[in-house]
Structures are given as structure tokens and as C-alpha cells.
Structure 1
Amino acid sequence: MNKPDLKKLIITFFRVAIGWHFLYEGLSKLWIENWSAAGYLANATGPFAGFYHWMGGSETLMSIIDPVNIVALILIGLALFLGVAIRVSAISGVVLLLLYYFAYPPFGGLQMGAVEGNVFVVNRNLIEALALITLFFLKEKGFGIHALPYFLPKKKTEQAIENENAVSSRREALKNLATLPALGVLGWGAFSSNEKYGVDTLSGATIQVGGADISELKGELPKGKIGNMEFSRLVLGGNLIGGWAHSRDLIYVPSLFRAYNTEKKIFETLMLAEKAGIDSINIGFPTIETMVKYRKMTGSNIKVIVQVHPDMENSDYYVNIDKAIDSGMDVIQIQGNWCDWLVRDNKLDVIEKMMDRIRSQGYTAGLASHTVDSLIACEEQGIIPDYYMKTMHHDQYWSAHPRENRVPFEVDGKKHLDHNRFHDNCFCLFPDKTTAFVERAKVPVMGFKVLAAGAISPEDGFKWAFQNGADFICVGMFDFQIVNDVNITIDTLNNLQGRKREWFG
């Protein structure tokens, strides 16, 4: 192969690779039912965030933007792949990529590592835009159907002149058609993959959601107050994000959760939750870093309730409280298992000191537990939080061990091989005792583990918790469960009967 052919071949590969990326992104969005860039635009950050938010918040504009985005990606991709209208498609691609780039610009303190690694200023959108600018100015455009007119029949005089500059017109024509079968093979493979596995992309403006679509929401999620802050009655739980599965003896489930909930998927889930009306999340302390990154990347105002515990080894009760405050968390709650352990070990003074520390810094202080005896003991000592967080579920499900075999404080203890003893299978050990305590509580109550880690259906678990006094429920959800769970919450609250306790918050 001579040097001109090699140069032409390299440019062809360069152009076709970019073209295929555009084309597949467009086809992916086309194949996703009810795809929309609204969530992407609504959470844009950077100096032009207001412009993107304005677009994402308008249904009229989105009815135009979504199809235009898809068509533009497909047409630009086809043109670059086949080699037609290259200059027009290149400059159009630059405009589109820069719109993506400035929606989430990797500067001004934002690190876009969740999507494409750690970057600053230069990311894949900018690199691809620079590549298209290079292609725009290159005189050589590679093989493609743009060259075919040179090989069509012409007048003799023109043909004679052309023959002086053309070598083997037939071979050149075949070379310029070579991208057509390649397009067919790639297109067939992409379509087959989509048919078999579905589409999963997070490009310049893609959020894929399984389960019910956001358009199927039945209304607005009701809200209540804890302290001086407003929260949706349904709060997103952090266990699935953190990989805590409570999966009984299914030892592979925690790793499966972590494999599914990549950082990218976590961000998609959070964005969908906010769009569905869930405005808060309750997380374990190790998840703080993820939430800080999410809020920086998207400009999200989601309220974060963080669980903290003391460093008993160094007698430092406040270290995690201070870290939570420094990280910008909104509400601080003493972790449920630690509350149980401290009460069990007769160290209620640690709980009281931690509560005082949280409040002295101007924060709402929550107190969680798995065993209701812990909250009763604190109540008797005059330790009353700004809200309780308590496991709240009935025990009418198959894997719950017999009541007569249940022991206070066993939830975070030994997992027994005896089927009639605790083995990560029951979290509200004494439902009647719990409901009696909640009934007399004079502060808001947030129920958690209301589905007994997946053993109870949402329709049943949500109703039971709200009927028995919960003002809020905290539920771990995968992305494909969010819209359904929001709808179930709305239906439950709209049709709730038999609740005796007044609403707090």
C-alpha cells in the first residue's frame, strides 16, 4: 500500500469510528421506550446550568429537543460513517458535543469521575469535538461515498482529464463503498444486542430506566417535616447502594448488589428518585463520599440523612459527627445497631453526649434502633431525639423465626444455623411492642426495614407501617422499583384507614 492510500485509510478509520459512536448513541436512544434527556438537563451544573434547567423543565421544549437530539445523532453518525456531507456533519457534531460538554463541565471544582474516570477540563466530549474540528479542516476525507461522483460516466473530455489524476477507478469505487458492508455488520450486531439484552448507555444525554416510566407517576409524593426541614414521606434507603443486602443465607446477593449498583447506576437511580418526588436519602456513613460527588456533579439539592457511630476504641464520640458536618450532610442520626449496642452495654451516656453534640452544631438529631427496648430505655432516661428511626414490619412472612425464640438486641448479633433462631431474617422483633411505643411517641417516626429486606410486598409493608404510626418510611430501591414504589406510597396514603396516631411532621 502506498503512502497516499495509507493516509486515506487512517483518516477513514478515524472518521468511521466517530461516526459509529454518534450513530449508535442515536439508535440506542431511539430503541429506549419513552427516552428523554429531561432528567439530564434538569440536573445540569456549571455556568450555564440555568439554561439547561429551563429546557429540561419545559414539556413543550422537551417534545422538540428529544426527537431532534436523536435524529441529529443518527444523521451525523451516518454521514461520518459513510462519508457524505462530511464538513457539515463534522461542525454539527462539534455543536452537539459542546452542548453536552457545558451541561456538566469538568471544571470549577467538579470531578466527573463517576462517568468516565478522573478528568479536569478535558473529557471525552471535548476530545471528540477537537477530533471533528480536525476532520473539518483536513483536505483529505478518506474513503467514502463522497468520492463516488468522480467515477460516474462523464463526457469524453472530462473523462480524459479525470483519468490523468485517477488510478484504477473501479478499485477506488469499491474502496469507497467498503464502509457499507461494515455498517451493515455493526448495525445488525447492535440491533441483535438490543433485542437480546436491551440498551444501557449514559452518553451526553442518556438516562436509562427500567420498570415503570416516570410518565406513569400518579401524582405528587406527600411531604412532612422533621425539625425545620421538609421531607417526602417516602425516603430512599441507602443499603442497596452500599451493598448491605440482609439476604439471609444467600451469600452471593451483596456482591450482586454492588455489581449492579455501579457509581453510574447509583447516580441514575438518584436522579430518577428526585424526578419522581423523593427528595431525601438515608445513608450509612461510608456512602458520604458518593453523595458528595453526586451533589457536586449534578447540582442536586437532595437532602442527606447520614448515620453516625462513635469511635469507642479511642473514646472519640464525635469524630464521625464532625466528618458528616464537614461533608455537608443535612441531618445526623445515631446508627441503629450502635444505639442497640450502647443500650445493651449500659452506655446510654454516650448516646446522650452524641445527641448533644449534634444539636449544639445546629443539626437535627435522629436516633435509630432495631430493638425497641433501646428506644424505651432512652425514653426512660429522658433522651428524646428530634425524630426516631425504627424498624417497622409485621412478622407474617415465611422466614421470620418464632416470636418465643426472639431475643432483644439479637438483630446485629450471631446468625444461628437453627431455623428457629435469628439468621438475618427479622428486624422488628416485637411488632406489638414497637407499635405501642410509636403510638405514644411525640416526635416524628421514620419506619425502616418496612419490607423485612424483601420478604414483604410494598403494598403490604407500606400500609402496615403507615397504619401503625410511621410518619415517614425509608425504603431501599433499585432504579426500576422507584416509580412503582412512589405510586404505591401515594395510593397507600390516599386510601389509608385505621391509623390511630396523629401525624407528626
Structure 2
Amino acid sequence: MKRENWNRLAITVLRVAVGWHFLYEGLSKRAAEDWTAAGFLNHATGPFAGFYHGLASSEALMGVVDFANVYGLIAIGLALFLGCFIRAASASGVVLLTLYYFAYPPFGATLMGGMEGNVFIVNRIFLEAMVLLALFFMQEKGYGLHAVEFSKKPAKAGQGGSSRRESLANLFTLPVLGLMGLGGHRNHKEHGVDVMSGATITVGAVDIGELKGELPKGKLGNHEISRLVLGGNLIGGWTHARDLRYVSKLSRAYNTERKVFETLQLAEQAGINAINIGFPSNKVLKKYKEVTGGKIKVISQVAPHEGDYLRRIDEAIDFGAEIIQVQGNWCDWLVRDGELDKIELMLNHIRKQGLVAGLGAHTTDSLVACKNAGIVPDYYMKTMHHDNYWSAHPRENRKPFEVDGKRSLDHDQFHDNCFCPFPDKTIEFVADAKVPVMGFKVLAAGAIRPEDGFKWAFKNGADFICVGMFDFQLVNDVNITIKTLEKLNGRERAWFA
């Protein structure tokens, strides 16, 4: 075979491969029940994220986008595979791939999330677009329908007509398409839609379009905060799973940095404008804001560091935290050990820096002791959940400060299973509090349904609730909060925020 024929064959194989990829993705979308690009667009990152989010927010636009996506891929794929309208298909393919590329560009949040196939600037989409650009500008297009001579007159020598052999070569993609199409059909019939195809992968499981209203807000100092605050434990990798030892590793494996960024973006879109985090998560939140331009307010928990009670406060401020609170377990420990002056030192230092100062606790006794000593923060953060769930150990066996102590192997003792051990004492303390109260662990780390836990906390005086949520739970939890607050009855405490 002549060298030019080998070149022509290589170009044909490259063109057909790209065409099959486009065609298969389009057909997979077409075959998927109720497929939509809304989830993909809703979680877009990068400099043009607002454009993609705007498309996803319009039902009318999504109808156009979905139709153009499915049938655009099919048309481009067929044209490239069969070798007709190659320049138009190549140009259209580049435009489509460019839109895909900038939805999740391989720099910033997407690159940091470790998406497979991404290196800085270059990814698989980029490379495929370069192939199409080359096809667009190349004079040689390979074998295909574009080169078939359909005239009934035999070609004259020297006039560029196709011989019978050349005509057959230019038509060979037709049976190849049939064979590959048959194989794809059989695969679909046996296994269903190819779930590993990009056509069926969605980023996140919840559509922001399911949001039922606007999330109410309250005030912490000069900050307007959503009544539902995102908890940092799931993002930070800390879980309370009783004796299920694999859950923390599973949570960390799911919440990659990319997934954390997607979760934060979804939270902001849903109206959650604050997150309460453990100190180690400050670095991730700082990066999130720098990369995505996110505006979520950071409430950072702080604790003493190697005997220095103020260092973490200053570091949290440097990271960009807007609100700072003394970590709950450290409040308990310092009260237990008679070091209330250290708590006062930390709260005063936070205020001197011009920030709102909060005080967390698991044990009500800690907050009572501080209050009796004249130490009152700008807001309290207190575990608030009832104990009407199976894994709660008997109330008569509960002890103050045990939440931060050792886990017993006795089923009737504490084992990472009860975080508000004396609900009645909590209700009594919150009812008398004259500053805002943020309830946390309101679901007892997943043991209580949101509809139940949210209502119990708000009814018993919480001004805000802090809830750890995966991305697929966010919109539903926002809707539950909205509905709970709209229909809340029986709350006696005034709203202090």
C-alpha cells in the first residue's frame, strides 16, 4: 500500500474513533430515561460557572440545551463516522467540547479535586477538541462518503474520478457502523445504559430546581446567617458512627476536595450561607473561596494549641473566618478542670479582633457554670436532640462530660451514641438564654429523621441549627427547614436572632 494510502487510513481511523465516541454518548443520553444536563450544569465550576448555573435554572432553556446536546452529539458522530460534512461536524464538535471543557476546566477546583484524566490545562476533552481542529484544517479527510463519486458516468483518466476499489473503500464505514451499532445495541439490551458513559454520569444527585422556597435567616452580630447552617464534620472527615468502623473512611473517600467544593456550591445555591467547621478545615474553605469566588460565611471552631490559648484564634482570622467559637469539647474539658478563666480569655480575644465570639458545649453544666461566672458569649452552640431513638443509652446511666470521654463496650453506657445526654436540662437552659442559640447534633448523628430533629430543636428554642449534610441531602434538608419554620407551633422562646 502506498504511503498516502496509509496516511489516509490513519486519518480515517482517527476520525471514526472520535465520531463513534460522539455518537455513542448521544445515543446513551437518548436511551437514558429522563436524562437532563441540569445536574452537570448546576455544579459547574470555574470562571464561567454563573453562565452554566443560569442555564440550569431555566426550565425552558434546559429543554433547548438537552435537545441540542443529545441530537447534536448524534449528528456530529454520524457525520464524522461516515465521512460527510466533515468540516461542519468538526467545527460543531469543537464548539460543543469547548462548552464541556469550561464547565469543569482542568484548573482551579476541578483540577484540585483530582478528576481522572486531568492535568493542568490538558484533559481528554481538550485532546479530542485538538483532533477535531486538525480534521477541520487538514486537506486530507480520509475515506468516507465525502469522496464517493455518485455520477453514473465513468470517470475519465486524469479527472480525479473514483475507481470501483476506491468507492468501496470510501463506503467501508457503513458496515463498520452497522457492526458497532449492533454490538452497542446488544450490550444495552443485556446490561442497560452504559453507566460509565459520560452521557449518564451526573455530578450530585439533587436538582436545585426542587427547592421549595427561600431559606429564612437570622442575625449573629452583624452577620445575616441562614437558619440552617452547614455542619463541617462530614466535610472534615469526622463522623459519629457508633461501632461502624468503616463509616469515617467511607465519608472521607466520598468527600474528595472536588466533592467538597461541589457541596459548598450547592449549599450556597440552596440558600445556606454559613458553615461551622473544625479548625483543620479552614485551609480547604480558604481555597474554596479563592478558587470559586464562594461567599459562604465561615464559623471556625478553635481550641488551645500546645498550651497557647490564642494562637488558633489568630490563625483562623488569617484564614478568613468571619465568626469564631470556642470548641464544644474544650469548653467541657476546661469547665470540668476548673479553668473557666481560659474560656473567658479566648472569648475576649475573639471580641478584641472585632469578631463574633461563640461558645460551644455538649454538656449543659458547662454553659451553666460559665453563665454563673459571668462569662456570656455572643451566641451559644449546644447539642440539641431528644433521646427517643434506639441507640440512646438509658438516661439513668448518663453522666455529665461523658460525651468527650471514653467509649464503653457496655451497650447501656455511652459509646458515641448520645450527644445531648440531658435534653430537659438543655431545654431549660436555652429557654433562659438571652443570646442566640445554635443547636447542633440535632439528628443525633443520623439517628433521628430530619423532619423530627429539626422541629424539636426549633420548637425548643434554637435560633439556628447546624447539620452535617452530604450533597445529595442538601436540597431536601433546606426544604424541610423551610416547611418546619413555616408550620412551627408551640415555640415559647423568643427569637434572639
- For normalisation by structure 1, the TM-score amounts to 0.86
Alignment partner of 1:382 out of 374, 379, 398: 374
**Aligned AA (2:248):** P
> Superposition pairs for residues 94-493 of structure 1, below 5 Å?
94-101=94-101, 112-114=111-113, 116=115, 120-122=120-122, 124-147=124-147, 149-150=148-149, 154-157=152-155, 167=165, 169-170=167-168, 173-174=171-172, 177-186=175-184, 189=187, 195=193, 208-210=203-205, 213-311=207-305, 313=306, 315-493=307-485
- TM-aligned CA deviation for residue 68 of structure 1: 2.9
User: What are the Cα deviations for residues 238-289 of structure 1, in whole angstroms up to 9, with x where unaligned?
Assistant: 2222222211111111122222223333333333222222222222222223
Q: Are the structure 2 counterparts of residues 263 and 182 from structure 1 closer, same or farther at C-alpha, using a change threshold of 3 Å?
A: farther
User: What are the Cα deviations for residues 437-456 of structure 1, in whole angstroms up to 9, with x where unaligned?
Assistant: 11111111111111111111
**Aligned AA (1:91):** A
The answer (yes or no) to whether the contact 1:23–1:74 under 8 Å persists in 2 is yes
**Partners of 1:32 and 1:220 in 2: CA distance:** 30
**Aligned AA (2:288):** Y
The answer (yes or no) to whether the contact 2:22–2:74 under 8 Å persists in 1 is yes
Q: Are the structure 2 counterparts of residues 256 and 94 from structure 1 closer, same or farther at C-alpha, using a change threshold of 3 Å?
A: same
User: Unpaired runs of 5+ in structure 1?
Assistant: none
The answer (yes or no) to whether the contact 1:45–1:298 under 8 Å persists in 2 is yes
The answer (yes or no) to whether the contact 1:378–1:384 under 8 Å persists in 2 is yes
**Partners of 1:92 and 1:197 in 2: CA distance:** 26
**Aligned AA (1:35):** T
User: What are the Cα deviations for residues 379-412 of structure 1, in whole angstroms up to 9, with x where unaligned?
Assistant: 2222222211111000111110111111111112
The answer (yes or no) to whether the contact 2:395–2:422 under 8 Å persists in 1 is yes
**Partners of 2:351 and 2:23 in 1: CA distance:** 55
The answer (yes or no) to whether the contact 1:111–1:119 under 8 Å persists in 2 is no
**Aligned AA (1:208):** V
**Aligned AA (2:386):** H
**Partners of 1:11 and 1:485 in 2: CA distance:** 53
**Aligned AA (2:309):** Y
- TM-aligned CA deviation for residue 345 of structure 1: 2.3
SS of residue matched to 1:264 = helix
> Superposition pairs for residues 62-73 of structure 1, below 5 Å?
62-73=62-73
User: What are the Cα deviations for residues 150-207 of structure 1, in whole angstroms up to 9, with x where unaligned?
Assistant: 4x573234599667767465455335642443355356647866648587779xxx85
- TM-aligned CA deviation for residue 90 of structure 1: 1.6
* Number of residue pairs the alignment of both structures matches: 495
**Partners of 1:208 and 1:111 in 2: CA distance:** 12
**Partners of 1:327 and 1:456 in 2: CA distance:** 34
**Aligned AA (1:113):** M
**Partners of 1:177 and 1:296 in 2: CA distance:** 52
- TM-aligned CA deviation for residue 292 of structure 1: 2.8
- For normalisation by structure 2, the TM-score amounts to 0.87
Q: Are the structure 2 counterparts of residues 181 and 383 from structure 1 closer, same or farther at C-alpha, using a change threshold of 3 Å?
A: farther
- TM-aligned CA deviation for residue 112 of structure 1: 3.4
**Aligned AA (1:229):** H
- TM-aligned CA deviation for residue 126 of structure 1: 4.1
The answer (yes or no) to whether the contact 2:144–2:170 under 8 Å persists in 1 is no
Q: Are the structure 2 counterparts of residues 396 and 55 from structure 1 closer, same or farther at C-alpha, using a change threshold of 3 Å?
A: closer
What is the RMSD of the two structures over their aligned residues, measured on CA atoms? 3.4
The answer (yes or no) to whether the contact 2:357–2:378 under 8 Å persists in 1 is yes
> Superposition pairs for residues 70-81 of structure 1, below 5 Å?
70-81=70-81
Q: Are the structure 2 counterparts of residues 92 and 374 from structure 1 closer, same or farther at C-alpha, using a change threshold of 3 Å?
A: same
SS of residue matched to 1:112 = helix
- TM-aligned CA deviation for residue 57 of structure 1: 5.7
- TM-aligned CA deviation for residue 419 of structure 1: 0.6
- TM-aligned CA deviation for residue 215 of structure 1: 2.8
SS of residue matched to 1:465 = helix
- TM-aligned CA deviation for residue 81 of structure 1: 4.1
- TM-aligned CA deviation for residue 307 of structure 1: 1.8
SS of residue matched to 1:388 = strand
- TM-aligned CA deviation for residue 416 of structure 1: 0.6
**Partners of 1:127 and 1:488 in 2: CA distance:** 44
Residue in 1 that maps onto 2:36: 35
Residue in 1 that maps onto 2:87: 87
**Aligned AA (1:475):** V
The answer (yes or no) to whether the contact 1:104–1:297 under 8 Å persists in 2 is no
**Aligned AA (2:83):** G
